Structure 1
Amino acid sequence: MNNVIKTPVAYLLLIAILLFSCKKLDDLNVNPNGVDETAVNPNLILPTILSETGKLYTNLGYQDIAGVVQHTQKDAWFESHNDYDWAGSQSWTDYYNILRNTQLLMNRAEESGQAFHQGVGLVMKAYVFGLIADLWGDAPYTDALKGNLNDPQYLTPKYDTQADIYHGILAELETANNLLSQPASSYTGIEAAADLFYNGDPAAWRRFANSLALRYYMRLSAKEASFAQAGIEKIATNPDQYPLILAADEDAAMSYPGTTSANAWPSNTEIDDTGGSNFRRLKMCATLVNTLQQLDDPRLTIWAQKVEIPLVVDATLPPRTDRISNGKRYLSPDMVANTSVDTDPDYVGIPPSYSNLPSSYNLNPTPGQTSFNPHVSYLNERYRKASGPLLKARLLSAAEVHFILAEASLKGWNTGNAAEHYNAAIEASLDAWQLAANYNAYIETEGVRFDGSLEQLITQKWIASWTAATEAWFDFRRTGYPRLQAGPVALRRALPLRFYYMQDEINMNGQHVQEALDRLSTTAFSQADGKNSAWSKCWLLQDTNNPY
């Protein structure tokens, strides 16, 4: 896809010119510093909703959640990323800001009879509310967007249960599928430039709606198996009525133009004003690197750099040898002693929650906050860029859809052949990373060739979620795969399961927060946090024995 984020100001100017270039000046004599909510065109709101959601999802799956699922580790300012030291710092303010704009979009679209924008609004509302329910559990939903000073009851909205939110968004996605089912020519008011995902294509948005519904039916599969099976089979067996994202060029993805810090790839070194430290401190995790190497996975070369100076531990060297020669660092065994080192000549990742000084890993001669380590792989040079053909917010992919259908087939549900969907998922992922030519060899690799197990399937889905690792976290919680273990200095001896309710919300809406907390279940790892712990279980995980 060649969709491009623009700044909200740029879009406002562009679309305003398109919409109003033929009007008299008298018609434009309005307040230049604000937009009247009762008159705003939906196309003026849409770019902000899409760009902010895309950036939010990338920031989750490329930062702390990538640390949780062991795609990456940081070797400076690492406590939140590596060790899950979140301390109630997560806020859903940005999520509800997006939802308020989405509600305005839907209100204006309904008033002006713009069915396309109503359908898109429902998809985005479902997407963001689904994330809130996934990350926190129970949350304001039915009353969330009604607050105003004239109706104080909605200023402290009740919390809907996680189950009710999931059911609510599935109903909204069904409505969206219907709204988006007409030919493009039958819709009014579409401005392709305002649609950063699909350039105003209703059919593409319809595929997104139904693919997102698959995600949430599968999410519910352990708690409401019959309901989930019926929903997935309804979609899978009626492709004309419920089209899906099935090829990489149909992915819900969004490129970064990279012209300002607000629309550039996160942690780049072209616009980033930290001297490149945000890029340097984010390194590959050994868990992912080792898995990719074992499978001879071509995506490793796309995502990571080779180590600058490999380590060579040579027992034939005299004691106290430590020298660099021919681009390698040679060490006698006594210089390594009991220190764990990785002598792979190509790619080295940092083990999860390795130590309280992760920058020292692999005998880094200059440990510290500067994050220079010649013996560990940096991310690929493309991630230094502010923009690029592979630097996308990836909200939902064809790979994910095929993995869901494969998993459903393993359950005995009527979704087609599991092996065929598994293969198609891997093919779609390789295609998305411009590695389509590697598919035939890779799919026959030992360990990749489908063995019919859920563990293999979810592990491949985990790999395919690079830079969009949030869904991998949710799959781990639901299935226990991949078999990830917390590192030695992590805050707990297990991976976290949810976000904390933030203190501001507890202070302002204490009664409803407490009701939500009472519905959580503590685990052996909740410890002093009590109910409001990242290691407590929300409804979705209760009584499932997963992931622990």
Structure 2
Amino acid sequence: MKTVYKIFLMVIVVAFISCEDQLTEFNVNPNGVDPEEVNPNLMVPTIIVSTVKPYLEIGYNGDIAGVMQYVQKSGWSGELNRFEWRQQRDWDGWYGNLRNARHLYERAEEEGMEFQQGVALVIRAFNFAYISDSWGDAPYTTALNALEGGQEDLFPAFDSQETIYQGIIDDLETANSLLSKPSGEYEGIKADADLIYGGDPAKWRKLANSLKLRYYMRLSEKLPEYARAGIEEIVSNPSGYPVFTSTDDDATMDFVGASNDDSWPANTTFDESQSNFDRIQLCAGFRDVLVDLNDPRIGVWFNEVRVPIKISDEYGDDEIVDGVRYLHPEYMAENDLVVYDKDQWVADIENGKTLVDTMNYAGLPIASSTGDGSSWNLNPQPIQGGPNVHNSALADMYKEASGDMLKARLISYAEICFILAEAAQKGWNVGDQKEWYEKGIEASFNTWDLSEEYSTYITNEGVAFDGSLEQIIEQKWIANWTVAHESWCDWRRTGLPNFTIGPRGLRDAMPIRFQYGSNEISRNYENYSSAIENLQETDYTATDGKDSSWSKFWLLKGTNNPY
């Protein structure tokens, strides 16, 4: 479904839609396509790519992937390894997506293209949810209206998270209606323009309602009865509100692999140095859980270390024999080296010890060093951003520019199963908790071509169903590999998984939001100043003031989670 034609379309749309304001001033489009007359199908690929790829990047090898303990980095790693989130983060790209989505909706409405209208509303809902989930209150009601020229349009007020979420739910409700007809009744669908579902309205309708389940659960601590009613309504009416029913419904985007821009992030095809790939390494927190559960997914996502470390008195102080590095116990003691222990490592670091990870899948612990992470586990060549033969790197498939398993994922059937398992655990009328929990694990195994391993895994200690919320969220966290932003939202809402963090982080707790960006502060200071008054400082805000990455927004205030 990915073609050169699509790439061409993306280039055109980026050129004229992202610069719509400037083009309107000149009333001339240098690319020969008038934004007021553009075919809506030309806009769809860019809107999808500019939403999906940044979401993947922050959840696969970005800061949130580090905070959620999936990966760490061996270079340029302060924000990811030690959550040094003191900088302001702009949301311009996400609002750019929203401007494009609005233009798509308006053009589709003019042309009578209900399918494209529905797609625009789903993309709009997803982007506004990302903004609100990440920053908190944000311009919503009067956002995207700068061309209208009014004071409230040029300097939009920030709406509350509650207001934004109500709008998100309403947009998805409208999308469900727009996308409810048989495919043959829609005008102007171009399958090649839809990089997610190939122009299938039924799939987009399922996506709209599956996102509603996600966002209702997001509200479950603040508006429990509203969330319960919303989820039960969807589950009780599958014909009126169809949702994902298998991994075939997953909202994913493949990669073309023709250039770095349309390829899997940090691939080595377009980076001969491999630095971007090499610096991404397995986090010890993720490894500990996967190994404890005897989880075969670790072997799909990561490689074993190239040179394992073992402790033995059969060799000298520090020798490599037959591809294994042996350290003598006396040498360990003399040099304050201790074997990594998942229950002891924080205290060992605080006591001045140097950790040695002897597992075949070795992982870098979060916030374990004030350095760049390159010297972890006695790396013999500690180069910032370089490889480490004693730590697990990403699996080789992630070196590729594209591949069958290299998909950017917005939301999956596995996630839906875990949402419903949690809803059942709360006592809501959505079906059997155990069944949904096990379906979620099975869906994840199917996604990673491990279906034959499922029947054994589901009986493992720690995996076999015990009815706890901890177990549901842990398995959801594992299944959300590369979708760390959603795991971040779950952790903030529930306090789960119960992560251990090292003593070298900027604060003694992980961050819970982004600071507002410098562009918004400089352009819209009065409304920014009003918005930050709604943030609640915590014990970890320190000297940041209210606009801190450790301050609570509405979704978290009064919940006692995650701290």
> Residue 491 in 1 paired to residue 506 in 2?
yes
Read off the aligned partner of 1:85 and give its amino acid letter: E
**TM-superposed deviation, 1:505:** 1.1
> Residue 384 in 1 paired to residue 399 in 2?
yes
Counterpart of 1:126 in 2: which secondary structure?
helix
Q: Share of identical aligned residues, percent?
A: 48
Instruction: Number of aligned residue pairs: give it.
Output: 529
Asked if the contact 2:285/2:500 (under 8 Å) is kept, the reply is no
TM-score (norm 1): 0.94
Of residues 199-208 and 336-345 in structure 1, the stretch that sits farther from structure 2 once superposed is 336-345
> Residue 461 in 1 paired to residue 472 in 2?
no
Asked if the contact 2:378/2:390 (under 8 Å) is kept, the reply is yes
Distance 1:6 1:121, change over 3 A: farther
Distance 1:528 1:454, change over 3 A: same
> Residue 323 in 1 paired to residue 319 in 2?
yes
Structure 1 residues 464-543: aligned runs within 5 Å? 464-543=479-558
Partner of 1:354: 368
**TM-superposed deviation, 1:5:** 7.8
Structure 1 residues 130-145: aligned runs within 5 Å? 130-145=129-144
Give distance in 2, aligned partners of 1:7 and 1:285. Answer: 39
**TM-superposed deviation, 1:31:** 5.8
Counterpart of 1:529 in 2: which secondary structure?
coil
> Residue 116 in 1 paired to residue 130 in 2?
no
**TM-superposed deviation, 1:383:** 0.8
Asked if the contact 2:158/2:528 (under 8 Å) is kept, the reply is yes
> Could you list the runs of 5+ residues in structure 2 that have no partner in the other structure?
14-27, 339-354
Distance 1:34 1:495, change over 3 A: farther
**TM-superposed deviation, 1:121:** 0.6
Structure 1 residues 253-264: aligned runs within 5 Å? 253-264=252-263
Give distance in 1, aligned partners of 2:493 and 2:230. Answer: 18
Q: Deviations over 1:300-347 (max 9, x none)?
A: 0000001011111113545xx211111101111233232244454521
Partner of 1:305: 303
Structure 1 residues 34-45: aligned runs within 5 Å? 34-45=32-43
Distance 1:56 1:354, change over 3 A: same
Asked if the contact 1:214/1:232 (under 8 Å) is kept, the reply is yes
Regions of 4+ moved over 4 Å:
5-9, 12-15
Asked if the contact 1:85/1:491 (under 8 Å) is kept, the reply is yes
Structure 1 residues 240-279: aligned runs within 5 Å? 240-272=239-271, 275-279=273-277
RMSD of aligned Cα (Å): 1.7
Asked if the contact 2:269/2:399 (under 8 Å) is kept, the reply is yes
Asked if the contact 1:5/1:254 (under 8 Å) is kept, the reply is no
Give distance in 2, aligned partners of 1:260 and 1:7. Answer: 14
**TM-superposed deviation, 1:367:** 1.4
Counterpart of 2:139 in 1: which secondary structure?
coil
Counterpart of 2:72 in 1: which secondary structure?
strand
**TM-superposed deviation, 1:471:** 0.3
**TM-superposed deviation, 1:75:** 1.2
Give distance in 2, aligned partners of 1:277 and 1:463. Answer: 26
Distance 1:140 1:126, change over 3 A: same
Q: Deviations over 1:466-503 (max 9, x none)?
A: 11111000000000100013321111100100000012
Read off the aligned partner of 1:108 and give its amino acid letter: R
Counterpart of 2:226 in 1: which secondary structure?
helix
Structure 1 residues 84-483: aligned runs within 5 Å? 84-148=83-147, 150-272=149-271, 275-318=273-316, 321-337=317-333, 338-340=336-338, 341-357=355-371, 358-483=373-498
Asked if the contact 1:304/1:380 (under 8 Å) is kept, the reply is yes
TM-score (norm 2): 0.91
Asked if the contact 2:10/2:46 (under 8 Å) is kept, the reply is no
**TM-superposed deviation, 1:86:** 2.5
**TM-superposed deviation, 1:4:** 3.6
> Could you list the runs of 5+ residues in structure 1 that have no partner in the other structure?
16-29
Of residues 454-463 and 435-444 in structure 1, the stretch that sits farther from structure 2 once superposed is 435-444
Q: Deviations over 1:331-369 (max 9, x none)?
A: 112332322444545211101111023211111112131
Distance 1:287 1:148, change over 3 A: same
Give distance in 2, aligned partners of 1:505 and 1:167. Answer: 23
Give distance in 1, aligned partners of 2:110 and 2:223. Answer: 37
Asked if the contact 1:8/1:48 (under 8 Å) is kept, the reply is no
